[in-house]
Amino acid sequence: MDYYKNKTVLITGASSGIGESFAITLDKLGAKLILTARSKDKLEKMASKMNNAISIPGDLSDKKFPQQLYDSIKEKNIDVDILINNAGFGFSGLFLDSSMKNYNEMMNLNVFSLVALTHLFLNDMVTKKNGGIINISSLASFQPMPFFSIYAASKAFVTSFTASIYEEYRKLGIKVLGVCPGYTKTNFNKRAQMDSIPVAGYLMSSQEVVDQSLKAYQSGKFLIVNGKINKFLRFITSVIPTKLSLAFSSSVIKRGITNKQW
Ligand SMILES: NC(=O)c1ccc[n+]([C@@H]2O[C@H](COP(=O)([O-])OP(=O)(O)OC[C@H]3O[C@@H](n4cnc5c(N)ncnc54)[C@H](OP(=O)(O)O)[C@@H]3O)[C@@H](O)[C@H]2O)c1
């Protein structure tokens, strides 16, 4: 994939899971990378092993950080070709089982930082009529999810927002892709307090998600659901009545929750 050679890519949440796989893969493809996440040491170690990468650590749930990140990239005279809004986290359990502090952090990271970074970098891309954005959403974005309520709602925002800006900016030469993985083997489940569901062939690797995403971005798609089982689940939940889909997702999530408090 020569397409990514020499492209400058900013990856949020680059220190683990899907973001780390994006970084390793794009480095191999000859891209120039800007890595961000909170884990400063991990990012520095990753960047030092790569061909052309820098790290700018920070907390994207701090509403000031997207602008600081943008300013620090501009100060270095770097022009971003592709923004990958990947950082995100979830919480599984009853809505009242977690604090507003945790939900604010989640909404700031999953929604606010993604919109703020898109607003900052898309503006430059439109000026030069080139560039694009990959937003990592989730299979959870397609229906309400009891016991995963704030996370699913935050990802519903991401999928909807991403599809809208795809349509608004595609004629200006800007690519916009939303990526909707299902269960993927990363640190996500640990922070979300969930076990993965033991269905053969269901749990995907972050490498598979990344390979599919880079291919889809290059070919100009606006949305992908990763994997055949996830595509099937999305189809089923879109055709059955909402009450049935609520009961289905509720039973699936409940079985996976590690911290059961009811
Ligand atoms: N794994 C799944 O099953 C799955 C399914 C669907 C969608 N997704 C989505 O995929 C994306 C990547 O998640 P993952 O599965 O790769 O999980 P992960 O392994 O936990 O990685 C999450 C990344 O986000 C960063 N991050 C977390 N909080 C942050 C903050 N406040 N500020 C800046 N960076 C922060 C983490 O780095 P630091 O801790 O160093 O900050 C890490 O690099 C997320 O948007 C997630 O919602 C995951």
Atom of ligand 1 nearest to the CA of 42: 40
pLDDT at residue 198, rounded to an integer = 52
pLDDT at residue 259, rounded to an integer = 61
Ligand 1 mean position, distance from CA 86 (Å): 7
CA–CA distances in Å: residue 57 to residues 6, 60, 82? 22, 9, 18
Task: State which residues of the chain have pLDDT below 50.
Answer: 262
**Left, alpha or beta for 193 (phi > 0: left; psi -120 to 50: alpha)?**
left
Q: Is 248 exposed, middle or buried (0-12, 13-18, 19+ CB in 10 A)?
A: middle
Whether the CB of 154 sits within 6 Å of ligand 1: no
Ligand 1 mean position, distance from CA 173 (Å): 29
Closest by CA position to 113, among listed 139, 137, 131, 87: 87
pLDDT at residue 28, rounded to an integer = 98
pLDDT at residue 262, rounded to an integer = 44
| 8: phi then psi, degrees, rounded to nearest 5 | -95, 120
pLDDT at residue 202, rounded to an integer = 72
| Among protein residues, the one whose CA lies closest to atom 25 of ligand 1 | 13
pLDDT at residue 256, rounded to an integer = 76
Whether the CB of 38 sits within 6 Å of ligand 1: yes
Ligand 1 mean position, distance from CA 89 (Å): 5
Atom of ligand 1 nearest to the CA of 43: 40
Domains for the chain: give ranges and CATH numbers.
2-256 (3.40.50.720)
Whether the CB of 56 sits within 6 Å of ligand 1: no
Instruction: Give residue-wise pLDDT tens across range 151-188.
Output: 999 999 999 999 999 999 999 999 999 999 999 999 99
The one-letter code for the residue type at 69 is L
pTM, whole model, 2 decimals? 0.96
